[in-house]
Amino acid sequence: MQLPENLRYTRDHEWLRIEGDEAVVGITEYAASELGDIVFVELPAAGTTFQSAQSFGVIESVKTASDLYAPAAGEIIAINDALADKPELVNNDPYGEGWMIRVRLADPAATESSDQLMDADAYRELIAAG
């Protein structure tokens, strides 16, 4: 299972790639495989603001529907429109073309040092523990 070292991870299986005062968010390969075939992704409009751990959308698979949780506070500046027609991108390329939102971080320094976010090693331990 692929776990890029340059990402930060949440206990809810979202990933965050920090790029200056912005970040890209998606779900992990582990989460996508557990959900099964993704059939729908509901994302909010650009301009929506949210707090860390607040639900920002819903992902549906052939098995279930799950809320998506924000790994950091901020404002959505872009959504991945391709997911409307091709939700399977989340399964096929969760860390690339399957990204979900781009966020302007409310506090980039606090996000970088957040205890809520794990590095790849800590996330591996989390999923190994079941």
Mind listing the pLDDT tens digit for each residue in 10-41? 999 999 999 999 999 999 999 999 999 999 99
Closest C-alpha to 28, from 52, 54, 53, 2: 2
User: Mean of the per-residue pLDDT values for the chain?
Assistant: 96
The secondary structure of 12-72 as a DSSP string is TSEEEEEETTEEEEEE-HHHHHHH-SEEEEE-PPTT-EE-TT-EEEEEEESS-EEEEE-SS
How distant, in Å, are the alpha carbons of 19, 25, 92 from that of 97?
Answer: 17, 11, 8
Range 91-104 average pLDDT: 98
Regarding pTM above 0.85, the answer is yes
